[in-house]
Amino acid sequence: MSSLSIGGSSSLSISVKIKTRLLQRFTSFNQLKHVHAFLLRLGLDQHTYLLNHLLHRSFGFEKNTTRYPRLLFHQIKQPNVYLWNTMIQGLVSVDCFQDALEFYRSMRREGFLPDSFTYPLVLKAYCGLCDVQLGLRVVHSLVLKSGFEKDVFVSNSLLGFYSKFGYLESALKVFDEMSERNVVSWTIMISGYVSVGRFSEAVTMFMRSVEMGLRPDGFNLVRVLSACTRLGDLRSVEWIDRYIMENGLGRNLFVATSLVDMYAKCGNMDKALRIFDGMLEKDVVSWSTMIQGYVLNGMPREGVEFFLQMLKENIKPDCYALVGMFSGCARLGALELGEWASNLIDRNEILSVPVLGTALIDMHAKCGNMVKAWEIFKGMKHKDLVVWNAAISGLAMNGHVEAAFGLFGQMEKSAIQPDETTFMGLLSGCAHAGLVDDGHRYFKNMSSLFSLTPSIEHYGCMVDLLSRAGHLGEAHKLIKNMPMKANAIVWGALLGGCRLHRDTELAERVLEQLIELEPQSSGNYVLLSNIYSANRKWNEAANIRTRMNEQGIQKTRGCSWVELDGVVHEFLVGDKSHPLSEKMYAKLDELGQKLKAAFGYVPTTEFMLFDIEEEEKEHFLRSHSEKLAIAFVLISNSSKDSIIRVVKNLRVCGDCHEFIKLVSKITGREIIVRDNNRFHRFIDGFCSCKDYCSNDSRLPLSEVVSDCVKRWFKDTLKEAKTGDINMQVLGRIWITRASRTRSFWKVSDKHPGYNASDSDSDELKGDS
């Protein structure tokens, strides 16, 4: 440093330039002190420009203290507004907001007038303290008195201050009174509207800015695209898309990615893909957006394929890409593929990042592997509310309702406050298990103990619970007394109960409501048609289907997926396109013969709801997609240790439920079927749902057992006595009929795999 001496006043400007460069290079506190000492030796310790640089760079080197910059400032003999502003700015930058305001007051006492840089800094300090009222009273009034309201920099700071705390009307007043506005002014207003959920006004503000000839920047476009996404307003989306393309703004990576996200969340994946393919530059965020978009729009296979393509492009997946992959595997039931993807990241990262751990818990739970999901939950280092909710919902959906109750008790003891999602998991578990009293209790406790307001989803769970349990009148009354208008999901739950309990009259009234809400939904018409068919009202059922054809409404085709060796196979009802279809149907015939010989099983044609011959009904039942999926695995993998996991897009019918139970018995294979309603885990001839979902009886459980035994035995003896059946076949008929409620005999048994508390009873016990 001694080489940087000054020969005289002529070389002073050169020395200043050298010192300025020196100030820009140092990176440690010791270097800063050396520079300060050097300036003292050169007599430049009062040079405003150099002091400002030194003061600005002195913040942040000493942890939790601003001692050095304070000492430096107090050695300045004649500080000007520029140096005062630098000191205030430095204090704000290290979150010393109160100290910054004290310096501002000292500056005023010293007789210095704030300038256009001072007011924004003071507003930031008040913003950091969240002292809204004092900030507005002190700063805004001074801005008006000093005439700085015409300064766009100061006005933008006021706009930002008002917007941050939700005072949008005050912000709009400042905005309208501004004599000059720049792109920052418009961006602040648009962001303010988006932050408080006023998306329509954000889009209108953007269009207004464009009409006035302003060229928006990337941040502005990203914010307005976010608003369009939340609105789902395709007209605005397409207008902004055209504007971006016409003005060449789509080359911006962040803007293009936001466009992809917008179309994905609006359900237009074709357009999202076209924009993605046209991007000159793609990063991991762009890929993640596409992956999550496909999964969000019910296209998990495409999402998984996109993830694999991303790996081929040598792009390392981030947290959100993996979450999308896990969600896609969860929907497909592709457990092996999901576990392979989880090996791409360190196990410690999974257990320490809640969003990753939650996605993995959810994937394993939705694939029926609750043991692994529970293991991940126990290993999580930081269990936030979302992690607890994933575990509770996973236990409930897999039929371990008592374990879910116990985990909820543990969560309370851990001082984690439940939210609406927590109770959704508990109530859905109650609905699937038929626990009416527990459902009532949790529904009541939401508001009385936890001050949570039940949403329409919670009411839907209660209607589902009551309807399944046969309390159709109570469910209908609950709908009529809801504080909000019932949606199609709520009415659909009641219609499902009408199907289960064959209440045609109520079903007709419910359908009127559903058609008004969802005129093009096939499921509602099909459900009523099935109710008519179950009651042998063939003409009424035919009329419903004729009505569907006239309106161009098509029934959703049954589809099942099964994973084998990391590959997901898809089967449609009646599917014969698979290369192994001939062997699959032969396997189903073989299984049918074995079941008939062993248990007297014949297809339960009452679930085939068409007025056709019995032989035709049996043929249609044989070709259900879940049966084809199971047959495919049985001919492809004979290992009894491997679990067969099937995912179906529709509800499993009663005959398929009975068929799969018996197949699990004779093959010794565990079979897990996830339909659009719940999980069914079949082991050794029993199902984890305890036949609750396939049983049409409306009697309490104890009455079902005793009444069915008496009635079936009486009917069987009557048939035998009249000569319609010989005694040799009597036993087979008895087994066939009794098997439909066989699990009732095992209600109190602790069958392996049915209750998580069997293996984790000590850990999962808790106050529910």
Amino acid 32 reads L
675 and 575, same structural domain?
yes
Number of domains in the chain: 2
474 and 585, same structural domain?
no
465 and 582, same structural domain?
no
pLDDT digits (tens, 9 = 90+) for 691-709: 765 544 333 333 333 444 4
Report CA torsion sign: 396, 401, 405, 411: negative
Q: What is the CATH number of the domain that holds 502?
A: 1.25.40.10
> Of 516, 551, 586, which marks where a domain is finished?
551
Instruction: Answer whether residue 615 is part of any domain.
Output: yes
Which of the pair, 533 or 511, is modelled with greater confidence? Answer: 511
> Of 696, 722, 737, which marks where a domain is finished?
696
pLDDT digits (tens, 9 = 90+) for 533-564: 766 777 777 777 777 777 777 777 788 989 88
Burial class (CB in 10 A: 0-12, 13-18, 19+), 703: exposed
- Of 421, 423, 439, nearest to 431 by C-alpha is 439
φ and ψ of 227, to 5 deg: -65, -45
Nearest-angstrom CA–CA distance, 45 and 54: 10
Nearest-angstrom CA–CA distance, 424 and 403: 15
pLDDT at 495 over 80: yes
507 and 472, same structural domain?
yes
Beta bridge mates, 687: 682
- Please tell me the total number of residues recorded for the chain in this structure: 768
Supply angle C-alpha 338, 343, 344, rounded to 5: 100
3-class DSSP assignment, residue 571: strand
Instruction: Answer whether residue 299 is part of any domain.
Output: no
pTM value? 0.71
pLDDT digits (tens, 9 = 90+) for 620-643: 566 888 999 999 999 998 787 889
686 and 613, same structural domain?
yes
φ and ψ of 382, to 5 deg: -125, 105
Percent of the chain with pLDDT over 70: 82
Range of the domain at 462: 457-551
Whether residue 586 contacts residue 578, with contact meaning beta carbons closer than 8 Å, is answered with no
pLDDT at 609 over 60: no
Q: What does the pLDDT read at residue 320?
A: 93
pLDDT digits (tens, 9 = 90+) for 214-264: 888 888 888 888 888 888 777 888 888 888 888 888 888 999 999 999 899
483 and 467, same structural domain?
yes
Instruction: Answer whether residue 613 is part of any domain.
Output: yes
Instruction: Answer whether residue 461 is part of any domain.
Output: yes
Whether residue 338 contacts residue 325, with contact meaning beta carbons closer than 8 Å, is answered with yes
Q: What does the pLDDT read at residue 79?
A: 86
Give the tokens for residue 45. Answer: 């310790």
Whether residue 495 contacts residue 510, with contact meaning beta carbons closer than 8 Å, is answered with yes
> Of 696, 715, 741, which marks where a domain is finished?
696
Q: Could you identify the residue written with the tokens 């009641």?
A: 494
3-class DSSP assignment, residue 504: helix
Q: What does the pLDDT read at residue 743?
A: 32
Instruction: Answer whether residue 462 is part of any domain.
Output: yes
Sheet bearing 679-683, strands edge to edge: 567-572, 559-564, 644-648, 671-674, 679-683, 686-687
- Of 269, 318, 257, 270, nearest to 296 by C-alpha is 269
671 and 578, same structural domain?
yes
576 and 541, same structural domain?
no
Instruction: Answer whether residue 688 is part of any domain.
Output: yes
Nearest-angstrom CA–CA distance, 447 and 452: 5
Instruction: Answer whether residue 497 is part of any domain.
Output: yes
Report which secondary-structure segment, H or E, holds 563. strand 559-564
Q: What does the pLDDT read at residue 69?
A: 82
Nearest-angstrom CA–CA distance, 88 and 125: 9
Instruction: Answer whether residue 264 is part of any domain.
Output: no
Q: What does the pLDDT read at residue 13?
A: 58
